[in-house]
Chain A
Amino acid sequence: MIHSLFLVSNSGDIFLEKHWKSVISRSVCDYFFEAKEKAGDPENVAPVLQTPHHYLISIYRDKLFFVSVTQTEVPPLFVIEFLHRVADTFQDYFGECSESVIKDNTVTVYELLEEMLDNGFPLATESNVLKEMIRPPTILRSVVNTLTGGSNVGGTLPTGQLSNVPWRRVGVKYTNNEAYFDVIEEIDAILDKSGTTVFAEIQGVIEACVKLSGMPDLTLSFMNPRLLDDVSFHPCVRFKRWESERVLSFIPPDGNFRLLSYHVSSQNLVAIPVYVKQNISFLETGSCGRLDITIGPKQTMGKMVESLMVTIPMPKSVLNVNLIATQGTYTFDLSTKVLLWDIGKLNPQKLPNLRGSLSVQPGAPKPEENPSINIDLKIQQLAISGLKVSRLDMYGEKYKPFKGVKYVTKAGKFQVRT
């Protein structure tokens, strides 16, 4: 399956290699560099490349390329999904997944990779199991390790692989038993020039942070489970139970995990929290254009819209902008030509407005397309689909846990065409 893995930085430096079968020379990456060169944008590098003797399957995450090499037929998604799982694990262990962090923790990274694959076939990918074998570094531990010369390898052997619940280790103990669930919904929408919705849907996830002792068996039920159109579960969720009763019944992994992701279909009417009045125009002659954007609340269910942010990728011919914002600040990145307007809270009484002129490269033709406006926002204490958790029950353990549910609505891929 997966033969080798190369970690490549954005600048094209191979800073880590791992082989699970025989060694493959890193020169195989030249094909990848060639493709990267051709694609220009790193996002545009084809995830699967064919070379005379190998296939390169790569992902681009956090400004890093994970380039894996295989020699035979393998489902590409299998590899891609696995590579993302590797990146997730790094993120989980080190807080971020960047070149410097991986370089600082080479040995831990190497041990992780060793455990995650055996002969190219995934072995242990559950973070709970891995953490038992290889302890994640903490500041305290790294201090202790430098003093005592210990490493992050677990001293005892894990038992998780062998328990009936592979994602949960046995003997978990907490003094404060708590279980928190974040219902996070993202609105994906495309609005056209006039503000009508071309397409809108809601993607939601329930992120859980469960710190409970022993082997708790949880049941989470919703007021309106019918809303959930399409769901995918963490493997711990009992599918049959969901099918028959529409409740989530599971023995949770220890710590943070994504319990469920769901989809509220575009058939349902999706509330659009804000409206955008915009006017971006470029003059036919003369090297300038005008920009005027106002944002106002639309359907916010009486909640405050926070962290409002507008991103506009300007045409390449725009040289600079000269704008005035009534609220928040704006920045214009001269190299990427991205205009970023950070508004903050949306005040319904005094609508934020950004207006001014754009200077365009002299002599360049008028840009064909007006740039689209991408909006980012956050609404606390609201799940825009109306989803509500009705209760959480725990079986199998005697103590009373603290329970909490938080709702957040965010803008996902929220785009206004102009």
Chain B
Amino acid sequence: MTTMQRLLQLPVNAVNMVKTVQSQVQGQEEDKSPVLSPDNGQQTWYSALQPDELRHLRSGGTGGGGGGGGDQEERGFQEDGGGGGSGGGSFQSQPLRHDDLKEMLDSNKDSLKLEAMKRIVAMIARGKNASDLFPAVVKNVACKNIEVKKLVYVYLVRYAEEQQDLALLSISTFQRGLKDPNQLIRASALRVLSSIRVTIIVPIMMLAIKEAASDMSPYVRKTAAHAIPKLYSLDPEQKDQLIEVIEKLLADKTTLVAGSVVMAFEEVCPERIDLIHKNYRKLCNLLIDVEEWGQVVIINMLTRYARTQFLNPNINESLLEEGGGGEKTFYGSDEDEDEDDEEKEKEKKVEAAAMAKRKPYVMDPDHRLLLRNTKPLLQSRNAAVVMAVAQLYFHLAPKAEVGVIAKALVRLLRSHSEVQYVVLQNVATMTIKRRGMFEPYLKSFYIRSTDPTQIKILKLEVLTNLANETNISTILREFQTYIKSMDKDFVAATIQAIGRCATNIGEVRDTCLNGLVQLLSNRDELVVAESVVVIKKLLQMQPEKHSDIIKHMAKLTDNIQVPMARASILWLIGEYCEHVPKIAPDVLRKMAKSFTNEEDIVKLQILNLAAKLYLTNSKQTKLLTQYVLNLAKYDQNYDIRDRARFIRQLIVPTEKSGALSKYAKKLFLALKPAPVLESPFKDRDHFQLGSLSHLLNAKAGGYQELPDWPETAPDPSVRNVEVKESVPEWTKCSSREKRKEKKVEKPFYSDSEGESGPTESADSESDSASGSESGSGSEGSGTGSESEESEEASVSEEEDEEEEKKTKKRESKKPVQESESEQSSEEEDRKRERKSKQRKSESESESDEEEDSESDSSQSESEDSESEAEIKKKKKAAESKPPSKPVKKDTKKEKKEMSLLDLDDFEPTPSPQVTPVNNLLSNSLVTDLEGLSLSDAVLSPATIAPSSALKSYELLHRITGEGLSVEYCFSRQPFSPDANMVAVQMHFTNNSTSDTKNLHMEDVKLQSGMRVKDFPEIELLPAGEKATAVMGIDFCDSTQAANFQLCTHTRKFFVSIQPPVGELMRPVFLTENEFKKEQGQLMGMNEIAEKLTLDAKCRNEHAIVQRVTTAANLSRVPCGSDKECSPLVPPPEHPVYRFAGRTVTSGSLVLVTVASREEGAAQLMVNCEKMLIGTMLVKDILLALTQ
């Protein structure tokens, strides 16, 4: 605090003293501080200050830091002054409060400031004006005390709009806050900054939001998402820029951000549905973990999204209307049943489609994903979430599945009455379209006398909608109780409801009518009147049967006084005067007598009655009619006078009566259609349920229409997140590139690696078969005669017994079988090298077609450079050991087998240029082998397993990478430094003209639990060259992406690797018995079964096995029939294929069964403890088998 200010304040106090007296006299309430003029002076003084100066000033004010002697003195003085001020406040009058508040704010005691701020906030809370304190408050914005600071923020946000110039003084504080190392301070700075509605700072806000959107802390990013709509409402011009930020935040993978950014999306650019595509699946998967408010917003948005992107699941139902008859049984069924139902539904749909010559409806897997992931949220404690899911199901789910929401909605009826009110409104709309859904819960809608009237009436509405032939008797019995209620509005509504039940259900019409007629003798006039009105409507449907009721009602005219009821009776008598020919004229006589005392609507009906009687029975009523018309002619009400004049002209024949009069009878006694008693909730469902617009039955501002289903589904591939597969690209590549690509491919021997573990187990024969199979396969290739030797070598270490079996088997299979050689593996290696070199040149000339198919498998272990040495050592060790004790040497043998392919002699460190050689060899072998296996039914399927292709994904495109392109694939090799990691092989290609140096990764961003082992830095990648590296990622058994930066010496690129679910597992060997045992333990929720129709090209064993193993890193479980694999035993007609694996991180078993049936039908079953993995895997395999 400067002395200058102090000086300024002293006279202020003096002035206050004087003014106090005045104001006391005036008795003003706290409109505005009467001390405005000195205040204003101060204000200008402040605004002249630059922010920097203000900061200086502030630090003086709050600073206990600078402790000079003079400073001390000054403070002492101020405290006195402050104390005096507040002390004085107690006996000073109200209007001066603001001044002592100012004094307190100016003091440098935090406690005083806090007290002042509390009082100011209390004023704001009560809606009192505290704007004149702005200058005094705003300089405390940088106060160190966090409590004071918070209250200052509250004040600032409230009044900044009114005092824009002064508010600007606080901006620099927030700007500094935005750079604070503490994320919470950054967030709160952004929060307040964006809440200050001052147009001039829009650019600053924009900048702050953009910066915060890429903040490290998800909390700050969340705040940024919140700030977007604030800025948008302040300046809609910024929309384009804000959309960019939204787009960026939508890609965020944290649950904290998801809800807020979708909210921003909904407020700023709800029409930009295209922004959702890429994030759709992520949002679906994150949904369950998002906080509840975010869930509501996301679900509502996804409902709209799904309506634009998917086909109507009930499209064929509408053609098969009678199909609805079965729906009752479907409702309330569990998920398992739902699956069945779905099958039925599908069948039904197929029929329908045949009728309609349409394609059978197949639900988009993404559509299914949405339904599946929202369903658990029906269990939320938050009514809004439950309602959101309910409306999503109502608008999007196939008819048979909507039933699940009923239970949850009924549960909400226990909640607060406001919640009940909204839920019942929505239930009422739903019951019109889907009555069966709520039928089992009929009793939950029974009304208690303690319910508020508005709830009672809504429940009544629901009960009426639910009424049908079977339950009407119970409902009517309930209604009878309600009629006795003390709540007359409710009784009237009940009578209306009875009327509606009677019109809708023909069987009970008479019962209802009788009941209502009994009510006519009710003591309460309102009840009688309402009954009359309803009876009138009912009678219109079949008047001839009920002349006695009409007579009864005619008698009521003497007693009943309610105008509407009297009018109804008169209309009824007039309309059906032929049925009561004797009574009608008498009624008219009575009415004519009391005409002058009647209400207007009754008078009109008397006129109508008179006219109708005149036309049918003019003899008896002519005079009466004349009399009534004369009375009406002089009525006060012009409607009645008009009507009288009109009727007279029409019915009374005069000499110049118009052409119309001969049609008078037709005009008055035309057959009138019976009124349709409709629910007020009919057709309300064109509004999105659960929305404000639905509740009000009128479009609210900002309501987004629920679009109609599209005729044809838009391209579903827009939602694919992974970058396009590179397979098609290969064919376009140069041969050199081709080789590179191939390195990516699956190792030829991968299956033997996977399965050699349990080689010596009881079921060893099948395993050895797999080993030998690959050998025989390579023989079959015709060209590579030597390669089988190497194969044999690998097998040669196995026990003799096995070899015998193998031989037998091989004999049975392949006459081409050669004798087994016992050559040393080293020799073998060299030979193979040579061979493969030859092969390389051969295969390079092969056609592109083959390239595609040979993508099946390749060995990529060479990139395992760091484990190279180790492997070599082991190999040596293994070799030195006699081949007769491989039992414990399983792993070593495996390593050895790998090392057989090592090109250590050929080139010390394997490079991508060389490895493909091997791959090519094996690839071509496999291609040939495939051809063979097609013709050979007994061939063990395990051989085919390795032939699956390795997909390569793009990590960095050539263009975005400025010449550097990176692709990656999952090599399906165990990652030797850490067995829990998935090995990812990366291929770098430098397409630019300059060298790239120091290629490495940094700044790895991962979901919790995930780990990454970096690939070794690549020092130099010369222009036009390629390089390969392997990194390991522990995905924690989730398909969450691993994000990191790829750095070169000049640039950094943000990249992310997302694994397909099939790569999150490694094959394990199981025998059929083991498999079945394990499967038995993974039933119920852990089992997911799906029926499918196999693709035409995929009906043989080979193709199925190949496609499954391509989709997922699993190994085939040898089936029982293989045990006696003699050609004499024919394969079973409908073979069952089993595959097994374990997830990489947790080692949970993954069991896949494909059971084929007739005509390409098949059933796919996945058992996995991790349900998420299971469901995703089912989807992937399904896709692989059906396309």
Q: Is B127 an interface residue (CB 8 A)?
A: yes
Question: Assuming A76-B695, A369-B485, is B161 touching A18 (CB within 8 A)?
Answer: no
Chain B nearest CB, measured from A293 CB (Å): 16
- Say whether, besides A72-B701, A73-B693, A233-B379, A367 and B486 are in contact (CB < 8 Å): yes
Q: How large is the interface on B (under 10, 10 to 19, 20 to 34, 35 or more residues)?
A: 35 or more
**Interface set, chain A 44-100, CB cutoff 8 A to B:** 44, 46-48, 50, 55, 58-61, 70-78, 80-82, 84
Contacts of A74 in B (CB 8 A): 692
A7 to chain B, nearest CB (A): 9
A327 contacts chain B at the CB level, 8 A cutoff: no
| CB–CB A368/B524 < 8 A | yes
Q: Mark B415-450, 1 if CB is under 8 A from A, else 0.
A: 011110111000000000000000000011010111
CB pair B450 A374 closer than 8 Å: yes
B147 pairs with A151, CB closer than 8 A: yes
List, in ascending order, chain B residues with CB within 8 A of A231's CB. 379
Q: How far is the CA of A235 from the CA of B696 in the complex (A)?
A: 31
Closest residue of chain B to A74 (Cβ to Cβ) is B692
A16 contacts which chain B residues (CB < 8 A)?
125-126
Shortest CB distance A153–B (Å): 4
Which partner residue on chain B sits nearest A7 by CB separation? B125
Closest CB in chain B relative to A111 CB, distance in Å? 7
Contact present for B147 and A150 (CB under 8 Å): yes
Q: Which residues of B lie under 8 Å from residue A82 when comparing CB positions?
A: 293, 384
Which partner residue on chain A sits nearest B478 by CB separation? A198
Closest to B259 in A: A121
B1085 touches A415 (CB 8 A): no
Flag if A73 contacts B700 (CB, 8 Å).
yes
Interface bits B358-397 vs A (CB < 8 Å: 1, else 0): 0000000000000000001001111110111000000000
Q: Is the CB of A162 within 8 A of B486?
A: no
Query: In the assembled complex, which residues on chain B have CB atoms less than 8 Å from the CB atom of A371?
Result: 449, 486
Confirm or deny: B411 has a beta carbon within 8 angstroms of a beta carbon on chain A. yes
Using known A-B contacts A162-B217, A263-B411, determine if residue A77 contacts B423 with beta carbons closer than 8 Å: yes
Question: A81, B154: Cβ atoms under 8 Å?
Answer: no
Q: Hey, which chain A residues are within 8 Å of B818, CB to CB?
A: none
- Cβ-defined contact, B452 with A50, below 8 A: no
Residues of A within 8 A of B1171 (CB): 240, 244
Write the chain B residue with the least CB distance to A368. Answer: B484
A19→B158 contact, CB < 8 A: yes
Decide: B419 and A81 in contact? CB cutoff 8 A. Answer: yes
Q: Contacts A158-B184, A365-B523 hold; do A119 and B381 have CB atoms under 8 A apart?
A: no
B154 touches A110 (CB 8 A): yes
C-alpha gap A238/B400 in the complex (Å): 27
**Does B85 interact with chain A (Cβ within 8 Å)?**
no
* A267, chain B: closest CB distance, angstroms: 8
B416 to A59, Cβ gap below 8 A? yes
Report if A110-B486 is in contact (Cβ < 8 Å); known contacts: A80-B383, A233-B381.
no
Interface flag for B657 (CB, 8 Å): no
**Among B65-73, B89-97, B114-122, the stretch in contact with A:** B114-122
With a cutoff of 8 Å between Cβ atoms, the chain B residues found around residue A23 in the complex are 158, 161
In the bound complex, do residue B695 and residue A48 qualify as a contact, i.e. CB atoms below 8 Å apart? yes
Q: Is B1008 an interface residue (CB 8 A)?
A: yes
Task: Give the docked Cα–Cα distance between A255 and B1112 (Å).
Answer: 46
Nearest CB in chain B: distance from A239 CB, A = 5
Contact indicator per residue, chain A 131-160, by CB within 8 Å of chain B (1) or not (0): 000000000000000001111011101100
> Which among B218, B219, B226, B695 has the greatest number of chain A C-beta atoms within 10 A?
B695
Instruction: Answer whether residue A214 sits at the interface, using C-beta atoms and an 8 A cutoff.
Output: no
Q: Which of B225-245 contact A (CB under 8 A)?
A: 226-227, 229-230, 233
Number of interface residues of A (CB under 8 A): 98
CA A22 to CA B291, docked complex, whole Å: 26
Residues in A with CB closer than 8 Å to B450 are 313, 372, 374, 413, 415
Does B408 sit at the interface, judged by CB under 8 A? yes
Beta-carbon contacts of B738-759 to A below 8 Å, as 1s and 0s? 0000000000000000000000
Cβ–Cβ < 8 Å partners of A153 in chain B? 146-147, 150-151
Q: CB distance A22 to B454 under 8 Å? A: no
* Closest partner residue, chain A, to B188 (CB atom): A157
- Complex contact B696–A50 (CB within 8 A): yes
Task: Report the bound CA distance from A88 to B384 in whole Å.
Answer: 16
Give the shortest distance, in Å, between A91 (CB) and chain B (any CB): 13
> Which residues from chain B contact A60 at a C-beta distance below 8 Å?
417-418
Contact with A along B186-199 (1 / 0, CB 8 A): 00000100110100
A15 at the interface (CB under 8 A from B): yes
Complex formed: what's the CA distance from A41 to B920 in Å? 85
B383 touches A81 (CB 8 A): yes
Interface of B is mostly: helix
Contacts of B386 in A (CB 8 A): 232
Of all chain A residues, the one with the shortest Cβ separation from B703 is A73
**Interchain CB contact under 8 A, A118 and B226:** yes
Contacts A164-B1008, A166-B291 given; indicate if A73 touches B692 (C-beta within 8 A): yes
Q: Kindly report which residue of chain A lies nearest to residue B229, judged by CB atoms.
A: A119
A19 to B296, CA, bound (A): 23
- Which residue of B154, B230, B300, B522 contacts A75 across the interface (Cβ within 8 Å)? B300
Beta-carbon contacts under 8 Å, B983-1020 to A: 1008
B560 at the interface (CB under 8 A from A): no
Instruction: State A149–B384 Cα separation when bound (angstroms).
Output: 41
A148/B383 contact (C-beta < 8 A), A47-B421, A114-B154, A125-B293 known = no
Chain A residues contacting B381 (CB-CB under 8 Å) are 232-235, 258, 261
Q: For A266, list chain B residues within 8 Å (CB).
A: 443-444
- A190 near B: Cβ within 8 Å? yes
Query: For B115, what are the chain A residues with a Cβ–Cβ distance below 8 Å?
Result: 149
**Are A77 and B419 neighbours in the complex by a CB distance under 8 Å?**
yes
Contact of B114 among A149, A192, A201, A240 (CB under 8 A): A149
In the docked arrangement, what's the CA distance between A113 and B1183, Å? 50
Q: Which of the listed residues A166, A235, A240 has the most CB atoms from chain B within 10 Å of its own CB?
A: A235
Those of A1-40 within 8 Å (CB) of chain B: 1, 14-19, 21-23, 26
Task: Give the contacting residue for B387; candidates A73, A75, A198; CB below 8 A.
Answer: A75
Contact partners of B197 in chain A: CB under 8 A: 22
CB distance from A8 to the nearest CB of B (A): 12
Task: Report the separation of the CA atoms of residues A29 and B640 in the bound assembly, to the nearest whole angstrom.
Answer: 42
- Determine whether A328 belongs to the interface, using a CB cutoff of 8 Å to chain B: no
Residues on B with beta carbons closer than 8 Å to the beta carbon of A203: 414
Does the CB pair A161–B1008 fall under 8 Å? no
Q: Does B111 contact A (CB under 8 A)?
A: yes
Contact A230–B292 (Cβ < 8 Å): no
Asked if B704 is an interface residue, CB under 8 A from chain A, the answer is yes
Q: 1/0 contact trace for B148-164 toward A, CB 8 Å?
A: 00110010001001000
In the complex, the chain B residue whose C-beta lies closest to that of A237 is: B379
Is A43 among interface residues, defined by CB-CB distance under 8 A?
A: yes
Q: Across the two chains, which residue of chain A brings its CB closest to B187? A: A161
Task: Specify which chain B residues have a CB less than 8 angstroms from the CB of A19 in the assembled complex.
Answer: 158
Would you give the shortest CB distance from A282 to chain B, in whole angstroms? 12
Contact of A232 among B114, B380, B702 (CB under 8 A): B380
Question: A47 to B444, Cβ gap below 8 A?
Answer: no
State A164–B522 Cα separation when bound (angstroms).
Answer: 65
For residue B288, give the distance in angstroms from its CB to the closest CB of chain A. 7
Measured CA separation A55–B691 after assembly (Å)? 13
Q: Which residues of A pack against B, CB within 8 Å?
A: 1, 14-19, 21-23, 26, 41, 43-44, 46-48, 50, 55, 58-61, 70-78, 80-82, 84, 106-107, 109-111, 114, 118-119, 121-123, 125, 148-151, 153-155, 157-158, 161-162, 164, 166, 188, 190, 192, 198-199, 201, 203, 229-235, 239-240, 243-244, 258, 261, 263, 266, 313, 315-316, 365-372, 374, 413, 415, 417
Query: Would you give 13 A-B contacts (Cβ < 8 Å), ordered by A?
Result: A18-B125, A23-B158, A47-B418, A70-B692, A75-B388, A80-B384, A107-B122, A199-B443, A243-B376, A244-B1171, A258-B381, A315-B486, A366-B523
Contacts A72-B702, A366-B523 known; list 16 others, CB within 8 Å.
A19-B158, A46-B421, A46-B454, A75-B384, A75-B690, A77-B387, A84-B416, A110-B122, A111-B151, A119-B229, A121-B260, A199-B446, A231-B379, A244-B1171, A369-B484, A371-B449
Sorted from nearest, which 4 A-B pairs have the closest CB atoms?
Answer: A149-B111, A72-B702, A369-B484, A43-B452
